[in-house]
């Protein structure tokens, strides 16, 4: 497989489901994030890092729904 040139880590709060969907539908669909060919994978990849502030361990139901998408 091809070499990954760029990794984008995106920090997000648990309930920012809509914001994550906007990113997925817009710039995360750019050609860099798409598989270039069967032999070479994408040149860029991303991941959402979802956390909560203040040590709270409560997880939103919407976050669980978002993980399934």
Residue 35: per-residue pLDDT: 73
- The phi, psi pair for 12, rounded to 5°, reads -150, 150
pTM of the model: 0.64
3-58 pLDDT, tens digit per residue, is 778 889 999 988 888 999 999 999 888 888 877 666 677 788 889 998 776 555 55
Please work out, in degrees rounded to the nearest 5, the angle formed at the alpha carbon of residue 47 by the alpha carbons of 19 and 63.
50
């Amino acid at each position: 497989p091809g070499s990954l040139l760029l990794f984008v880590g995106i920090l997000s709060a648990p309930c920012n489901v809509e914001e994550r969907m906007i990113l997925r539908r817009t710039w995360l669909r750019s050609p860099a994030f798409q598989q270039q060919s069967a032999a070479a994978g994408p040149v860029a990849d991303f991941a959402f890092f979802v956390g909560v502030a203040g040590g709270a361990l409560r997880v939103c139901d919407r976050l669980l729904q978002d993980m399934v998408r």
